Structure 1
Amino acid sequence: MNANHYLTIRLIFLLGLISQMGRSQQAGTDSVKTIAPIPPYDNRNAELPIAYGRQPLWKITSALSTVSGSDLQKNFATNLGNTLFGRIPGLTVQQSGGEPGNDTPTLIGRGINTFGGSGRNLLIMVDGFESSYEQLVPDEIESISLLKDASATAIYGLRGANGVLLVTTKRGSDGPLVVNFSTQQGFHTASRLPQFLGSYDYARLYNEGLRNDGKAPRYTDADLEAYRTGSDPYFYPNVNWYNEVLKKTAPISNYNLNFRGGSSTVRYFVLLNAIQSNGLYKNVGDLDPESVNSKYSRFNFRSNVDINLTKRLSASLTLGGSVEDKANPAATKTDTVFSALAKLPPNAFPVYNQDGSFGGTSALTNPLGNLLRTGSYTSNGRTLQSTLKLTEQLDMIAQGLSISAAVSFNSFFRSFSDKTKTYERAFATRNASGEVFYSRFGQNTSLVGNEANSDQWRNVIFQGFLNYDRTFGKHGISALLMYNSDSYTNVNPTTSAIQSLPFKHVGGGGRITYSNRNTYIGEFSFGYMGSENFPKDRRYGFFPAASLGWIVSNENFLKENSAITYLKLRGSYGLTGSDQIGVNNRFIFEQRYPYTDAYYLGNNNTQVFGLAEGAFNPDVTWERQKTVNLGVELTLAKRLDFTLDLFRNNRSGILVSPNRTVPQYTGVVLPLLNQGEIDNKGFEATIRYSNQSAAGTSATSAFQYMVEASSWYAQNKIVYNAEAIRLFDYQYTTGRPVGQPFGLEALGLFKDQAEIAASPRQIFSSLQPGDIKYKDQNGDGVIDQNDTRPIGNTSVPTLTVSLHSKLQYKGFDLDFLFQGVTGRTAYFGGSQFHAFQNNGQVAPIALDRWTPETAATATYPRLSASNNLNNYQFSSFWQRDGSFIKLRSLELGYTLPVSLLNKAQITKARVFVNGTNLFSLDYMQGYIDPEVSSGYPALRTVSAGVRLQF
């Protein structure tokens, strides 16, 4: 943060103090309630953010869901995305791991609507402009809304088909200065870590695997006894590498200070925030000066100011940013560290040898030694979001008419410092006389620095608006006409020349909303937009949408029905687009000649590279999506609220290779054509009950509560993807969900040799009793890849449910959120579950292995010390139900009575304890987290804090 930023914040603060002159005395006499009452579900006149504007809730006929920033504060996380689990109906959040600074989740709106991961991304808009959101903090967030149907997103043109996430930051208000300060201190723990057996069990089970393979045991009875007793830790080690490398807990802290207020002329919101989270690695930086401790810190600042320059001209300045620092020990990446922890057997070597050197071999490095003696990896990142908007009221031309212009500049830059070195490790052996010999590998070197790498992007956006909003008696009209031009540049030096060229969009859109007697509502919206990624004659597209709403409760025949407080029916239909056709498919309308093809020449088959004719599509265009949405909103007895949305999306024009019409054996490089099609349909439902009447909260009871349950479902199906002709119908992906797993169907374990002889031949390896038996799908008497079929579900859930509740009694309050998902499959694979594969470990799951004695109860195949190609085929045997229920947040607080605060000039004080991701109910048997199966684990956080208001 430079001097200009500090100066801006100080000036805004001074403006806020000046605006309070003449008000301070009155403000000091205002009564302050002990605790704010729980509000009713919806204030129908409250305005919510929509595309490039705001509308009263009763007037919205499109499908959207919103969560407030105050609710997001209940999840203590360094990444804003990790506060969204279960908060927004229709939004699927997939956790990617818990590493601080590298834990951005995947966000999916209304399920999967296209092929490939790159084409599913939501359009993220921060205060009306495309930008990153992960670095923002809940204290600066007013609300986050998901726009879901065509009526809500058509104005975004060929960028709205995947849904739009609107992030709205807080702004000032016309009122006295309010200062908020909060601090939160806590610690992380790994929600679950992989479990592995110790050296004694490892050795005896390894011997069993060797015997099953027809080989002699490796470990003698004396070896096993030494492992069991731990009598010789240097030559018979029993190392839990997770305990050696990781801490049980790691601290996390957060500090927040913000100012809000203003007058009829100037309104402001200013925020300063600091957050720090240490990693789970042990503090190796304290042990070796050339290593570092794992930590992540970020400082956020925000200054949002609205100024009435004249009676008609107003200006809005939005300025936000962050500075973040991240450090990890070792030159290796985090995933590499955790991969080594999951593979290295506990008896491979000790952490330290008897002479004090690090244990290790030529092929296996020492995880703790890697953290201590291979250098460090640090980065510094800066994010800036800035917008200036001017609005002129044109009432002299027509009442309710205004014109606006805005420019936004957003940028991100991260520099890396990679310091590397190597170290010596040794493997100890001992002869019969007890003499110790060391075989040494690697060498100790000095640090070598690399400061050349960086990652950066920037975008510049221009917008112009013409707005009209007026009521004529019982008629209301609001309209918007806009122009948008944006340019995004990725200046990362590692990207290709094509990807470094700016990504540009130019176009506009409009919306007109008509209401009659606040009962009948009609809206038409459209987007007209072009992208540089398509041919000139096919660059622009038109995307219209229409919606209707009927507030039935305003009709005379329902006004006398006191049970129905509010009833609205709405529906929409429209066309949206997506230009996310893949980063490797840029400018494929041009013929290119890549230098990639290889020819083998001469007697020695020397490989010679040369130019090749690349595939191209001169008619490439964006994906098109037709969306229909039907919704109902109902309030009963002023306390019970219910909403339901039904939707269906049809996505066409998805890029596919025409393998069905041109066989692959022709050897021709086929172009990508806009032929793919997907159907996706589902629902979202929310029911909420509050004991506070929606008519008002002036007469509040001592005990207040709110309970809200939500569920959302989305199931997609591939209609056409031009896949190659298959031998068997069950191998087609058409008609199945995107990402459907295909594998062998397991029928259990072979009981004996007679059953093996009577079964179809499995080609993967020689069989023994206790091996996995597979189903012969095509009946040819042979089990091979032709017998793979759809098994299980994808990793993306089809159904998500959440339960959110708030309870208040006098000064005490309790808030919790449960989230559950189903319709997904997890897989028990890799070294965590496949015993001894690739010289890896063995997990407790293998204790239930098949042996002649446990043949009737075994749930795990016979052990093998070699890579068993039959048992570890991708099959239903290793699949598990990926459903789970998690307690995402729990917070208990107490608001101190006002009588205790007056002398301290504090208007409100609240202390609280908070938990995030406290527990999970699932089918993983405690082995892995159902969301994060490998790499840096998911985190559980417990904290305590205080919030003060002045």
Structure 2
Amino acid sequence: MKLKYCPSVFLISIFLLNLSKDANSQTGRDTVGVNIVDSIAIKEREKNLKNIGYGKQPFNLITSSISTVNGENIEQNFSLNLGNTLYGRLTGLFLAQGNSEPGVGTPNLTVRGINTFGGSNTAPLIVVDGFIAGGNEIGSVFSQLVPEEIESVTVLKDAASTAVYGNRGANGVILVTTKRGKNGPLNVSFSTRQGFSQALSLPQFLDAGNYATLFNEARQNDGLAPFYTQDVIDGYRSGSNPFLYPNVNWYDEVLRKAAPVSSYNLGFNGGDQTVKYFVMLNALGNEGLYKNFGDLEPESSNSKYSRYNFRSNIDVNLSKRFSVSFNLAGSIENKANPWQYDTGATFSLLQRIPSNAFPVRNADGSFGGNNLYENPVANLLATGFDESNGRTLQTSLRFTQQLDQLTKGLSATGAISINNYFIAGSEKNKTYARFPILPGVFDSNGNPLVGAGIGLTSPITAREITRTQYRNFDIQGALNYNRVFQKHEITGFLMINTDNEVRNFTTGAESDPYRHNGLATRLTYAYNNKYIAEFSAGYMGTENYLPGKRYGFFPSGSLGWVVSEESFLKSNNRINFLKLRASYGIAGNEDTGGNRYAFRTAFNTFTGGEGTLGNTNITWEEEKSLNIGLDATVFNNFQLSLDVFKRDRYNILTQPFNVVPQFVGAALPDLNIGKTLNQGIDFSLRYNSSTSKKFKYFVEANLSHFKNEIVDNSQLPQLNAGLVNAGGAIGQPRRLRAIGFFTAAEIAEKAIDPSKFPTPIGVNPRPGDLKYEDVGGLNGFPDGVIDNNDLVAIGNPGAPTTVLGINAGFKIKGFDLNFVVQGVTGNSVNLNQGIFQAFQNNGNISAIAVGRWTPETANSATYPRLSSVNDINNFQNSSFWIKDGSFVKLRSVEFGYSIPKQFLNKVKIGDARFFVNGNNLFSFDHIEYGDPESLTGYPVLRTFVLGTKIQF
């Protein structure tokens, strides 16, 4: 099972070479047969270097498809998760915002859409400073980073840029480069942000009076007697006796209107030719939306989250030839909540419990409650609390040896990294009794008496647990080459690496490590800075496959032509720069889901019987990727980039339904027979005003459009052509087609002829019920029954097909303004969830049901008739509940003022800026009753902060 590689000989050889005779060497770009490049040109070239994975290249020589954002730009977002700072800033990258709970919420990331199905991982590989970062899950290195330590974030999108990552690059790669020291005196910077966050949108539920009124209507629709008398309804509305007639807004009882947030950052930067350093300390705080229940009950806790980040990046030139870089970074995270680790159960209860269920406290001070619902306030006050402590650490040591004594331009590097995170928890648990009201029994003040308690009050107990843990040990060794011969430039590297991951082990015994060994190479040739050819490849293996089938080769090639260097364009002052490029290659995705070591046949540990058969030919997914693009600067001020891509993925694991007969009599394994196709465009356009003017501004727009489809998923033949997955989008929802509400006349017709207006089996329709189209059964003809054969492709998957970002700003007389707008379309939102299903499963009723069908509103109803029993017709998955998920959001705005230099010079301060910042300020969308990105659970947050940044 083990993959072995020992780089010790390689590292020792680097050390011995450093002890050899010192000679004159060049640490930069070497030239032969031409004069040394002017120093100003070299500096400009260095400024245009872009991270392309395991190295950097000048922008004019890059032939692959990448997009980059600088760290100073994402500092405009206040967020606890680095991913949430990237909305609308990078072409090809889509982030889906979900749960915003401090310390829990993290966005989902995809590059150029989704191109696989089943259990496959769709997330990009994340690499921080050249080493795998353990994904985007909570606690990972990536999620814990803060913008103040980021130099740049780069997305690698095509095979030419991802092939060097072997069988882990097909979903794209996100490269994070942290800041390093620069030549110059000590520079000290301090910044702070103070503000608050609040819910951008909360569900809207009806008050007690309206709940009771509509519940009576629902019972009447069901042929049942009213449950609430008019006196009770009037009591709910008058509020005359809140114990007898409770009318509780549970969200108001549990949540506060705004929660404090804060951030402090202290940085040190400087160095000389021998040592350069970047050191940063950061503190973040967010108290969450819960009220301070810990202040009310000593055995509860306030909701609070804090994180302390540190980073020290040191570069040392030990000699003219030998240098060392050492990174030490990490975070300390503390989180506490009353009741439970996260807030999921609380928000689920808030969404189910009606406003008239019971008072928060009864007249005697006891907690209200009943057999159907727990008391949300009591849960947060009287059940203890949960604390969590997380630790993230990333260390790396890199040696670089110039080998000019062998040949000029040659160098060798060796690196080692240890990256891990650990989250432990401390649970303090207790129970409480809640007391229902006794109907018709009152005390002397007219308040209802309570019955026997539900549950017992117990003392607090404690338990220590490990929530998650991750560790990665990575070793790299590489030869690098960079040389210019007159008009010829050759750049390349050859790297061998091995890493060992232990993922999410939470028990005393470690899980079996994930191992990867690989070779990676890239060779770039440029002629006269005009014609570029590049070859890159990865050869990588992992232990998850059968011996002899563990390694794969992933090559790619790309070409570039800098047309603006041609004589026919050099004199053209309209086209300042124009580069055409194309790439083609193969990338892989080894995280295919399913059981690990699936080449083995599974056996039931209890019965000894055979389980799923082993697949001895199981392998990774592969993707053939074609990319054609251009980069240009025109009229001095316009910069644009355009990419057209096509991605053919195959070897996707899926059940072999149409390959192996079902009468085989064994549990069949997934086979690598699935195929998909994904194609689209990335486009960005930026305008920069003249730097010589007092009023400076820029406007940047980026657009990504991608469309995927299933080519083959081994689906069984279908009676209904609408159920065929091939040709449809990945994740395409299939639902019944709703064709309106039943009328009284149609119900009468159906009573005479039951074959008319077919319904699902067991449904006896009534006026106001949803009516569905009988699409087909055997041979595709209507069969008089509404069932799964009537499902058709309706709406879109949850992920959009088009993503737009707009980033703009200006500066004038010390004032500056920047904002980011993000828009998405091509996605759908499904409202067929408990929160919108009135009275179902003893649930609540939301404001959406106000538009219900009644005989008076039959022509204008926007919701089916109400029912007090579980409805098996109206809440079928149908087109009625599918809504357009498109939105436009103002993701961030920052307005600032910088104090003039002439004043700062007097007090010996380099820079001082004050600013106000807002995130997620508003949303334009089609969802009236919630946020299209997060309908349930912890709400999306809107944040406002005041801040200052001072440099000495």
TM-score, normalised by the number of residues in structure 2: 0.92
The match for 2:949 is 947
User: Separation in 1 of the partners of 2:391 and 2:803?
Assistant: 35
Give the one of 836, 857, 861 matched to 1:833.
836
2:702 paired with 1:702: no
The match for 1:824 is 827
CA offsets 1:574-616 (integer angstroms, 9 cap, x no match):
011110111x4211112331326xxxxxxxxxxxx55334321
Check the 8 A contact 1:658/1:722 in 2, yes or no: yes
User: Separation in 1 of the partners of 2:441 and 2:221?
Assistant: 30
The match for 1:738 is 730
The match for 1:328 is 337
What are structure 1's unaligned runs of at least 5 residues?
A: 1-41, 597-608
User: Separation in 1 of the partners of 2:83 and 2:45?
Assistant: 27
CA offsets 1:542-593 (integer angstroms, 9 cap, x no match):
11100000000110011121111111100000011110111x4211112331
User: Separation in 2 of the partners of 1:413 and 1:208?
Assistant: 53
Matched residue type, 2:877: F
1:202–1:454: structure 2 CA closer, same or farther, 3 Å change rule? closer
Matched residue type, 1:718: I
Taking the TM superposition and a 5 Å limit, the aligned residue runs for 1:329-348 are 329-331=338-340, 333-348=342-357
CA offsets 1:879-937 (integer angstroms, 9 cap, x no match):
11000000000000000112222232211100000000000000001x11110111111
Which range moved further: 405-414 or 824-833?
A: 824-833
1:118–1:241: structure 2 CA closer, same or farther, 3 Å change rule? farther
The match for 1:865 is 868
1:564–1:45: structure 2 CA closer, same or farther, 3 Å change rule? farther
Check the 8 A contact 1:595/1:612 in 2, yes or no: no
Give the one of 336, 361, 372 matched to 2:370.
361
Check the 8 A contact 2:602/2:611 in 1, yes or no: yes
Give the one of 100, 104, 107 matched to 2:106.
104
CA offsets 1:614-646 (integer angstroms, 9 cap, x no match):
321011111111000000112111111111000
Check the 8 A contact 2:674/2:712 in 1, yes or no: yes
Matched residue type, 2:82: L
User: Separation in 1 of the partners of 2:938 and 2:703?
Assistant: 29
CA shift, 1:490, in A, is: 2.6
The match for 1:776 is 774
Check the 8 A contact 1:313/1:391 in 2, yes or no: yes
Give the one of 29, 42, 48 matched to 2:50.
48
Check the 8 A contact 2:118/2:653 in 1, yes or no: no
2:680 paired with 1:723: no
Taking the TM superposition and a 5 Å limit, the aligned residue runs for 1:627-638 are 627-638=625-636
The match for 1:486 is 499
Matched residue type, 1:730: G
1:702–1:308: structure 2 CA closer, same or farther, 3 Å change rule? same
The match for 2:275 is 266
User: Separation in 2 of the partners of 1:206 and 1:372?
Assistant: 31
2:575 paired with 1:564: yes
CA shift, 1:780, in A, is: 1.4
CA shift, 1:810, in A, is: 1.2
Question: SS state of the match for residue 462, structure 2?
Answer: strand
The match for 1:6 is none
Check the 8 A contact 1:293/1:328 in 2, yes or no: yes
The match for 1:890 is 893
Matched residue type, 1:330: W
User: Separation in 1 of the partners of 2:661 and 2:851?
Assistant: 47
Check the 8 A contact 1:627/1:649 in 2, yes or no: yes
1:825–1:454: structure 2 CA closer, same or farther, 3 Å change rule? closer
The match for 1:9 is none
The match for 2:609 is 611
CA shift, 1:333, in A, is: 3.9
2:74 paired with 1:65: no
Give the one of 541, 555, 560 matched to 1:530.
541
2:711 paired with 1:711: no
CA shift, 1:55, in A, is: 0.5
Matched residue type, 1:915: G
2:558 paired with 1:547: yes
User: Separation in 2 of the partners of 1:716 and 1:173?
Assistant: 45
The match for 2:687 is 689
1:610–1:753: structure 2 CA closer, same or farther, 3 Å change rule? farther
Question: SS state of the match for residue 196, structure 1?
Answer: coil
Which range moved further: 92-101 or 112-121?
A: 112-121
Check the 8 A contact 1:764/1:784 in 2, yes or no: no
Question: SS state of the match for residue 98, structure 2?
Answer: coil
User: Separation in 1 of the partners of 2:554 and 2:400?
Assistant: 27
Check the 8 A contact 1:548/1:570 in 2, yes or no: yes
CA shift, 1:287, in A, is: 0.7
User: Separation in 2 of the partners of 1:121 and 1:884?
Assistant: 23
Taking the TM superposition and a 5 Å limit, the aligned residue runs for 1:57-206 are 57-116=59-118, 118-131=120-133, 132-206=141-215
TM-score, normalised by the number of residues in structure 1: 0.92
Question: SS state of the match for residue 441, structure 1?
Answer: coil
CA shift, 1:493, in A, is: 2.8
CA offsets 1:457-511 (integer angstroms, 9 cap, x no match):
111000001001010111100010000100001362359x8x8101000011111
2:588 paired with 1:577: yes
User: Separation in 2 of the partners of 1:664 and 1:944?
Assistant: 65
Matched residue type, 2:823: G
The match for 1:427 is 436
The match for 1:649 is 647
1:117–1:280: structure 2 CA closer, same or farther, 3 Å change rule? farther
Taking the TM superposition and a 5 Å limit, the aligned residue runs for 1:205-216 are 205-216=214-225
The match for 2:9 is none
1:343–1:332: structure 2 CA closer, same or farther, 3 Å change rule? farther
Give the one of 655, 658, 670 matched to 2:656.
658
CA shift, 1:666, in A, is: 5.6
User: Separation in 2 of the partners of 1:259 and 1:764?
Assistant: 72
Instruction: Please identify runs of 4+ aligned residues in structure 1 that moved more than 3 A.
Output: 42-45, 432-435, 662-667
Give the one of 351, 354, 368 matched to 2:360.
351
2:902 paired with 1:899: yes
The match for 2:284 is 275
CA shift, 1:47, in A, is: 0.4
CA offsets 1:351-377 (integer angstroms, 9 cap, x no match):
000000000013311000000111111
The match for 1:507 is 518
CA shift, 1:167, in A, is: 0.3
User: Separation in 2 of the partners of 1:89 and 1:192?
Assistant: 28
CA offsets 1:424-453 (integer angstroms, 9 cap, x no match):
110112426767242311111011111133
The match for 2:847 is 844
The match for 1:23 is none
Taking the TM superposition and a 5 Å limit, the aligned residue runs for 1:252-331 are 252-331=261-340
The match for 2:11 is none
User: Separation in 2 of the partners of 1:817 and 1:664?
Assistant: 54
Give the one of 674, 677, 680 matched to 1:679.
677
CA shift, 1:387, in A, is: 0.5
The match for 1:35 is none
User: Separation in 1 of the partners of 2:336 and 2:760?
Assistant: 50
Question: SS state of the match for residue 144, structure 2?
Answer: coil
Check the 8 A contact 2:821/2:889 in 1, yes or no: yes
Give the one of 564, 589, 605 matched to 2:599.
589
Check the 8 A contact 1:315/1:389 in 2, yes or no: yes
User: Separation in 1 of the partners of 2:664 and 2:370?
Assistant: 48
Check the 8 A contact 1:44/1:58 in 2, yes or no: no
Question: SS state of the match for residue 268, structure 2?
Answer: strand
Aligned residues: 887
1:391–1:724: structure 2 CA closer, same or farther, 3 Å change rule? same
